[in-house]
Structure 1
Amino acid sequence: MNNLKKWLALFALSFGYASIFMIPYAKYVFYDPMMKALNCTNLELGALVSVYVFVGIFTFVPGGWLADRFSARKIITISLVAQGIFTIWFGLAMTMTVAWIVWISFAFTNCFAYWSAVIKGVRLLGDEKNQGKTYGLFEAGFGLSSVIVGSIALAVFGRYTDQIEGFKMVVFVYSGLCILAGILTWSLYDEYMVETKEVAPKVGLKDVFYVLKQPIVWLIAIVIMTTYGLFVGQTYLTPYLTAVVGITVTFSGALSLIRSYGVKLFAGPLGGIIADKMKSPSRMLAVGYVIIMVFLVIFLNLSGEPSLNIVIALMMTIAVVGAGMKGVMWSIVTEANVPRHYTGLAIGTASIIGYLADIVLGPLFGYWMDTYGNAGYNYQFALLIGVCVAGFAAALGIIILKNKAFLTEDAGNARKKISA
């Protein structure tokens, strides 16, 4: 395959990935303006994302089946365009009631249709030996696209003195970019770009139950949950910067944009290179959990009004390590010897547990902030330390079990076991 075509296809997927998740998670950058626009509490704003993920969880496995049965290119394109249309509606009628309906709709455009299709689509662009690098570059492309999209959004927001009006215009920007991403995906991506010797049989209902029974798939789910949970936890540093450190919303938003997306430009590929050099993404992730845990302990022990420079240094270090981990977390599907025709099912199954972080952490962190004020952040840091411990244990489990996984068997033997 022509390398230029591959990189353009990877960019199209990255740009779409950045665009489709910007509005469901808009609070990560526009936390205070979004809360004002919807006239809601911290708990309600956290619950909005939680409901979106809760509904989405029930669609992950069917979505994985869909990704293994139909064209990734078609699924991704339709999802992006539909997302753009729903986002326009939200911008035109920005109330909490409309937000609930739209965010539930996002569960179907994102979790059911788009999610497994795009993660599988990335895997199909790389060979089995450099999956860490492929996913790392995808994460870097996601970071670059997010910085571009986020910078445009911040620039638009900054032109308005009224935060509510500014946020409405940001929503329209996000909707247009989703539709553009759909056009780019249809034009640049083709799942048949890379030739493979593996003959992919049709995936049926028996295969769903077969994948569900495998312990290593659930270990993958725990790794995804903890790695993503650390990312979700970091987003609450946005209100931390304004409430505890005392900086402006615009400055906090800029730092959050760099933390959430900018560091991915180099941390994603670097994480992929390290994982490939170690010949085990799970080993790389295990080391990452330990590093982040140490810095969270330091965060937990900050007292009084901490120095802005110290907070930024701690925040960015955690962000870099976390971005490197998030960039390679899905490559453990390849490390676990999952055949390509089971990729969608494995991703969908792992995502059921993996994205519980959005359901639990949003309302919980919001409740702590509403109830305890600034002291609530200490509870957040303590919980994230526990998340690191759980992730470390799951990564070790994958290292131990990967060579014994059921998925090293061919599909024919798998089906014989099912019918036995």
Structure 2
Amino acid sequence: MNAFKKWLALFVLSFGYASMFTLPYAKYVFYDPMMTALKCTNFELGAMVSVYVIIGIFTFVPGGWVADRFPARTTISVSLVAQGLLTILFGINMTMKVGWIVWVAFAFTNCFAYWAAALKGVRLLGDKNDQGKMYGFFEAGYGLSTVVISFIALGIFGRYVDPVAGFRMVVFIYSGFSILAGILTWLLYEEYMAETNEDKPVVGLKDVIIVLKQPVVWLIALVIMTTYGLYVGQTYLTPYLTAVVGITVTFSGALAIIRTYGVKLLGGPVGGFMADKWKSPCRVLTIGYIFIIVMLFIFLNLPAKPSLGVVIVLMLLVAFVGAGMKGIMWSTVEESKVPRYYTGLAIGTASIIGYLADIVLGPLFGYWLDTYGNSGYNFMFAFLIAISVVGLVAALGILKLKKTAFSIITTNVNTNINTKI
């Protein structure tokens, strides 16, 4: 397979992934203009995003089934273009009523079949020996694309005196990126680009039960939940720097950009190379969990007024290792020997548990900080240590079960495909 074409297709998937989630989470960049445009309260804006996430979680499994029934290229392209059209609809009529309709619809354009299809698409670009690099560079490309899209949007927004008019133009720009990504995916991505000797049966409803019965799939879910939970938890180091260390909001924000995007560009590929060299993402993850446990334990034992230099070093180390882990977490699907025709179902099932962090951690950490002030960070660090231990146990569990998890199913695949609906 042409290497240039493979890496170009991978970047297109990363670009589409970044384009898909810009508007649903636009409040993180354009919070005040969005509130002004929608004439809504803080609660209403937050509730709209929360409902989108909750509905999205319920679409993961059926979406995974769809992703296994239809070609990845078709599913990804159609979802991206549909997202772009919905975004145009919102830009034309930016009201709270239309916002609710569009955000609910977003759960079906980007959380339904697209989610599993995009991650499955990454897997299909490589063989079993380079899954770490595929997912690591996918994560890096996602970070780079997000930075570029965000800066373009901010630049355009800054040209308008009226914040509502500026935000409306940003919405149209987001729609353009989404539609462009859909077109590029259709033109540049090929289904099953990586050679495989696996049979490719038509996946039916009975296969949902088959995948749900596999313990290794739920261990993958725990790995995703804990790794992504650590990523979400790191975002609270931004207010930690201002509230505990005492630096300015501007300086803290600059460090947040470096931690979120700059480190990701390096951490993702490094984690991928290590996973492929050791031929085991789970081995890299186990070391990562242990390292982060040690770093968080140091955070727990810092003095009331810690040194800025020490905190920055600890933060960047945690961010770097966390980015490497996040970059390879989905390559555990390959290591677990999940048949490629079950990739969408496995990803959809694991995502139900894996992305609960988006719903749970924000309110939980917010409650601790509201109730206990700066002492709430100690609760947060202790909690992150606990989920790191869970992730460590789950990764070790995958290492133990991966040899036999799907062996019976793959041996009898011809019997299974005769029962498809």
Q: TM-score range with shorter-chain normalisation?
A: 0.7 to 0.9
Q: Give the Cα separation in 1 of the matches to 2:243 and 2:267.
A: 28
Deviation (angstroms), 1:152: 2.4
Mark the CA change 1:92 to 1:417 in structure 2 (over 3 Å): closer, same or farther: closer
Mark the CA change 1:15 to 1:323 in structure 2 (over 3 Å): closer, same or farther: same
- The correspondence of residues 66-85 of structure 1 with structure 2, limited to 5 A, is 66-85=66-85
- Preserved contact between residue 127 and residue 195 of structure 2 (Cα < 8 Å): no
Q: Does 1:101 align with 2:104?
A: no
CA RMSD of aligned residues (A): 3.0
- The correspondence of residues 9-408 of structure 1 with structure 2, limited to 5 A, is 9-28=9-28, 40-41=41-42, 47-91=47-91, 98-157=98-157, 169-241=169-241, 245-248=246-249, 252-302=252-302, 304=304, 306=306, 308-407=308-407
Deviation (angstroms), 1:283: 1.2
Corresponding residue SS for 1:119: helix
Q: CA-to-partner distance for each residue in 1:260-287, whole Å, 9 max, x for gaps?
A: 2332222111101111122211111111
- Preserved contact between residue 31 and residue 239 of structure 1 (Cα < 8 Å): no
- Preserved contact between residue 201 and residue 417 of structure 2 (Cα < 8 Å): no
Q: Give the Cα separation in 1 of the matches to 2:240 and 2:154.
A: 19
Mark the CA change 1:292 to 1:260 in structure 2 (over 3 Å): closer, same or farther: same
Q: Give the Cα separation in 1 of the matches to 2:418 and 2:96.
A: 47
- Preserved contact between residue 203 and residue 417 of structure 2 (Cα < 8 Å): no
How high is the TM-score relative to the length of structure 2?
Answer: 0.88
Q: CA-to-partner distance for each residue in 1:206-241, whole Å, 9 max, x for gaps?
A: 111111111111001110111111112223334445
Q: Give the Cα separation in 1 of the matches to 2:416 and 2:183.
A: 42
Q: Structure 2 counterpart of 1:24, which letter?
A: P
Deviation (angstroms), 1:253: 4.6
Q: Give the Cα separation in 1 of the matches to 2:293 and 2:100.
A: 35
Q: CA-to-partner distance for each residue in 1:391-412, whole Å, 9 max, x for gaps?
A: 1111111111111213464252
Q: CA-to-partner distance for each residue in 1:88-115, whole Å, 9 max, x for gaps?
A: 4445555655544333222111111210
Deviation (angstroms), 1:303: 5.0
- Preserved contact between residue 338 and residue 408 of structure 1 (Cα < 8 Å): no
Q: Structure 2 counterpart of 1:133, which letter?
A: K
Q: Give the Cα separation in 1 of the matches to 2:4 and 2:213.
A: 40
Q: Structure 2 counterpart of 1:406, which letter?
A: F
Aligned to 2:410: 410
Matched residues, number: 417
Corresponding residue SS for 2:111: helix
Deviation (angstroms), 1:117: 0.5
Deviation (angstroms), 1:164: 6.9
Consecutive unaligned residues of structure 1, counting only runs of 5 or more, are none
Moved more, 150-159 or 380-389: 150-159
Q: Structure 2 counterpart of 1:349, which letter?
A: T
Q: Give the Cα separation in 2 of the matches to 1:376 and 1:23.
A: 31
Deviation (angstroms), 1:307: 5.0
- Preserved contact between residue 29 and residue 257 of structure 1 (Cα < 8 Å): no
Corresponding residue SS for 2:198: coil
- Preserved contact between residue 84 and residue 174 of structure 1 (Cα < 8 Å): yes
- Preserved contact between residue 224 and residue 355 of structure 2 (Cα < 8 Å): yes
Mark the CA change 1:343 to 1:158 in structure 2 (over 3 Å): closer, same or farther: same
Moved more, 186-195 or 349-358: 186-195
Deviation (angstroms), 1:16: 0.5
Deviation (angstroms), 1:17: 0.9
Deviation (angstroms), 1:203: 0.7
Moved more, 147-156 or 52-61: 147-156
Mark the CA change 1:176 to 1:374 in structure 2 (over 3 Å): closer, same or farther: farther
Q: CA-to-partner distance for each residue in 1:350-388, whole Å, 9 max, x for gaps?
A: 111111111212332344445555554443333222211
Q: Give the Cα separation in 1 of the matches to 2:85 and 2:242.
A: 33
- Preserved contact between residue 30 and residue 253 of structure 1 (Cα < 8 Å): no
- Preserved contact between residue 157 and residue 169 of structure 2 (Cα < 8 Å): yes
Q: Give the Cα separation in 1 of the matches to 2:336 and 2:141.
A: 25
Q: Structure 2 counterpart of 1:337, which letter?
A: K
Deviation (angstroms), 1:85: 2.8
